[in-house]
A and B are shown apart, each in its own frame.
Chain A
Amino acid sequence: MTTPEPHAGNVWPIWEVFVRSSRGLSHVHAGSLHAPDAAMALRNARDLYTRRNEGVSIWVVPADAIASSDPDSKGSFFESPQGKDYRHATYYTKSEGVKHL
């Protein structure tokens, strides 16, 4: 696992924490924390984010390793699927009422 460059002196980098709340479910973003490396980030995440049985599995990711979509490109990124009703079952009305379809 990659470890981000520790910042100047005694400041630990930020890690994003993802928790699986029970078997069969996805990991969900729980929050972030500071840790010197991946091993400690996992342990800190266990201590901080699962004090009340919130999880059965944890992922930690260096915050600066996450690439995210550009908030200014919402239109071009996320509006294209709108208007494509034919991707959804509700578009097909003639077959309504036919069993097991």
Chain B
Amino acid sequence: MSTPQTATQTNDAHDGGHGDISVGLSGAGASGDGAASATRITPGNALRPEDIALAVSRGTAKPSADVAELALRLGDDALILAQRLGHWISRAPELEEDIALGNIALDQLGHARSFLSYAGGLDGRSEDDLAYFRREPEFRSVQIFEQPNGDFAHTIARQFVVSYYQFELYRRLAQSTDATLAGIAAKAVKEVDYHRDHSAQWVLRLALGTDESRQRMIHAFKTVWPYVDELFRDDELTGRLSETAAAPQPSSLRADFDRLTGEILAEAELQVPNVQPAPGGGRRGLHSEHLGYILAEMQVLAREYPGASW
């Protein structure tokens, strides 16, 4: 896997003489308060989806069939979530939250692209081939990700569950015997850690804020919770992957998930909802009624112009 060379970027739009915002400094080497700036921007230095695609096309990263299938699952989870969260941008309860949800959506989209690029390494398909030209039964996402945004409480309830799940998963996946999976997960786990914090903060505020917000939060958890079990179900694939230490068994994440979400729920004075689990089936391509509409919207343009480049 290559690490991108990054240069410090100094886009100086500042053509006047007045300055309490300093610009044009080269960052790490600079010292002294004269260099202090609140607007020095850099692209940073991290594993990008493009790096995975490049490694795949060069043949330096090639997944086994099982690893590719797992990458497809996790890529689909993140992609569908990003698609859902993206809808909030320009609709959030406050402008600051537009930005927060936008960041989370972008993180998830980044994970999706990395996982899908890697999954495509099995048979030469690109991230876009996989995202735009598969049919609903070929998607491998778990059903909780496609559940509707609902009101803000529903989005937070879904986000709370999936970010605690993803954290436990990626934390272990970062130790995978498959170096590429480990690399993607190591980057993703830090971002998902922040998603946990974001959703936990909101669970507390909604649950302990006003009577209305508390009722909405309770209702939202009741609606989302039937889809929790599916996240932790093992199957033949996860069994084989855990034997080679490529990935953990989903069921092995459950205890930590229950303990950590339980702490927040207790602080929020909420009970784990007493609801029956849904049968699920997303990993086998069986989806709830919602996924078809998500895909119809997401894929419409790409499918109108098959083979086109964008």
Task: Name the residue in B28, B96, B197, B201 with the highest tally of chain A Cβ atoms < 10 Å from its Cβ.
Answer: B96
B contact residues, range: 20 to 34
Q: In the complex, A39 Cα to B198 Cα: how many Å?
A: 10
Residues on the B chain within 8 Å of A34, using CB: 94-96
What per-residue 1/0 map shows which CB atoms of B1-42 lie under 8 Å from chain A?
Answer: 000000000000000000011000001101111011111111
Given known contacts A25-B36, A30-B39, is B100 in contact with A44 (CB within 8 Å)? yes
| A49: chain B residues within 8 A (beta carbon) | 38
Cα A28 to Cα B35 with chains together (Å): 10
The answer to whether B103 and A21 touch across the interface, beta carbons within 8 angstroms, is no
Contact A52–B41 (Cβ < 8 Å): yes
Kindly list chain A residues whose C-beta atoms are within 8 Å of the C-beta of B20. 29
**CB <8 Å contact, B37 and A28:** yes
Is B205 at the interface (CB under 8 A from chain A)? yes
Chain A: interface size category = 20 to 34
B43 at interface by CB-CB < 8 Å:
yes
A29 and B198 alpha carbons, distance in the complex (Å): 24
CB of B22 to closest CB in A, whole Å = 8
Q: Is the CB of A43 within 8 A of B38?
A: no
B99 within 8 A of A: yes
Across the interface, name the chain B residue whose C-beta is closest to A37: B205
New A-B contacts (14) at CB < 8 Å, excluding given A25-B32, A26-B33:
A20-B36, A21-B35, A21-B38, A25-B37, A31-B38, A40-B201, A43-B198, A47-B96, A49-B38, A52-B41, A52-B42, A53-B42, A53-B44, A55-B38
Which residues of B are in contact with A by a Cβ distance under 8 Å?
20-21, 27-28, 30-33, 35-44, 94-96, 99-100, 103, 197-198, 201, 205
